Homo-oligomer: A and B are copies of this chain.
């Protein structure tokens, strides 16, 4: 693998795999030159490839080595990195990075707003470039002054956000969608561990969109967010009884990085 300039990291317009979004990716945090939860990300990348039938010649060792060389070459301290693999007869691998994606403290102390979007992901367990619905749902959220859009399935269940997992807390239990219905967030693993550590039970039953006020608090998680409380959904103010615990989870998730 070669280290190239970012403007040389390009995809051919005439590639059928580019045209069909036949590609997978991972977004990772680099903190103090160390890649957080790299093994988990590499595992999920392999799951994504397996699920969509994408075969490529890049080993975990190749990817890890390339990341290390990139970090050394650019003296990267903190950053958000992206591993991106396009399939097909001539697979392509790119590792890019940008400033570490962080959010103001107020997002945690005041919570953030979300909207609801009715739609279901194709192959939810695979992290692919087939993200048009997520793009449109998030644009819609932003138009309404919200930070995230939550995806509601045909049965009325809130499964996940466009770039986050989703949870509701009620009666000592954290409710979230089952693994096979959503993207299995790396941070979700930590959130569930943190919830357990804080004494919560975990139930893999997603909240319904019309019962959100029955939860003592609702929140989202993602690599860049850790755990972040939701203040409003579709303009309705959510309950805040468990925000303290959500922030405790956030701190544990960050501590374990």
Contacts and interface: CB of A to CB of B under 8 A. Distances in A.
A103 interface: no
A132 interface: yes
Contacts of A224: none
A25 interface: yes
A17 B135 CA distance: 8
Interface in A59-86: 82, 84
Q: Which of A7, A11, A96 has the most CB of B within 10 A?
A: A11
A17 to B, nearest CB: 8
Interface residues of A, number: 36
Copies in the assembly, this chain: 2
Q: Which of A96, A128, A131 has the most CB of B within 10 A?
A: A131
Interface string A118-146: 01001100001111111110010000000
A256 interface: no
A102 interface: no
A13 B10 CA distance: 5
Contact of A13 (B11, B122, B132): B11
A122 B133 contact: yes
